[in-house]
Amino acid sequence: MNDHITTSIVVAAAQNRTIGKNNDMPWHLPEDLKRFKRLTSGHPVIMGRKTYQSIFDRLGKALPGRDNIVITRQANFDADGYVVSSVKDAIEKAKNLAKEKQLDEIFVIGGAQIYSETLPLTDRIHLTEVLETIDGDAFFPELDDGDWKREVAEDDCNADGYRFITLNRIQP
Ligand SMILES: NC(=O)c1ccc[n+]([C@@H]2O[C@H](COP(=O)([O-])OP(=O)(O)OC[C@H]3O[C@@H](n4cnc5c(N)ncnc54)[C@H](OP(=O)(O)O)[C@@H]3O)[C@@H](O)[C@H]2O)c1
């Protein structure tokens, strides 16, 4: 029923696949944050409880202008958004919200656990490649190159120290 809605991951990852350290981002890339906002604004965003906590600690609130969907096993977790107890429920909720708003894309925004668990269900990855090896404690899962068609945005590929890539799942 919701087949036309694309499930996308948005992630910034270093060359060694680091995405985080001490429950925070290990870099500050304003252009990446702008891209993140441009992609996700108005859309449902799915995140693990730890990423929610990290965003809340930084902003003092959930991500504004988006339907925040938080995945946790805690029964009474209180979040500024929808709280669900499984990846399946998160994607279903996000697709229903997208459908109501006539949107064609939902976004999984981390962290490491949730990227791993949603990767098999993901159609597209909006990747910011950080062109360095960076020390961290949270990592993006390894991708099978045979599964993904890689597109580098013309105007984004010369950025200093990072580049924006879109990976679309190759349909069997
Ligand atoms: N570079 C990037 O683009 C990016 C983006 C996002 C996050 N990050 C970084 O990633 C790190 C956080 O990643 P993380 O792996 O530690 O945490 P996470 O994936 O954000 O959240 C993990 C939590 O999600 C809940 N959860 C996971 N799987 C579940 C399931 N199947 N069913 C129900 N609940 C489930 C659990 O919450 P409970 O413990 O409450 O049950 C678990 O502790 C931080 O360093 C953050 O800054 C980086």
- Asked if the structure places residue 161 within a domain, the reply is yes
- Asked if the structure places residue 60 within a domain, the reply is yes
- Asked if the structure places residue 100 within a domain, the reply is yes
C-alpha to C-alpha distance for 165 and 172, rounded to whole angstroms:
21
Choosing from 17, 19, 162, 164 the residue with most ligand 1 atoms within 8 A of its CB, the one to mutate for a pocket test is 19
Domain that holds residue 17: 6-169
Q: Which tokens in the block code for residue 24?
A: 């925070």
- In order along its 172 residues, the chain shows pLDDT tens digits of 446 899 999 999 999 999 999 999 999 999 999 999 999 999 999 999 999 999 999 999 999 999 999 999 999 999 999 999 999 999 999 999 999 999 999 999 999 999 999 999 999 999 999 999 999 999 999 999 999 999 987 666 666 789 999 999 998 7
CB distance 74 to ligand 1 below 6 Å: yes
DSSP 113-163: HHHHHHGGG-SEEEEEEESS----SEEPPPP-GGGEEEEE-GGGTT-TTEE
Q: How many domains does the chain have?
A: 1
Q: What is the CATH number of the domain that holds 76?
A: 3.40.430.10
For ligand 1, atom 47, which residue shows the shortest CA distance?
24
Given a contact cutoff of 8 angstroms between Cβ atoms, the answer to whether 19 and 13 are in contact is yes
Q: Which runs of consecutive H residues, i.e. helices, occur in the chain? A: 30-40, 49-59, 87-100, 112-118
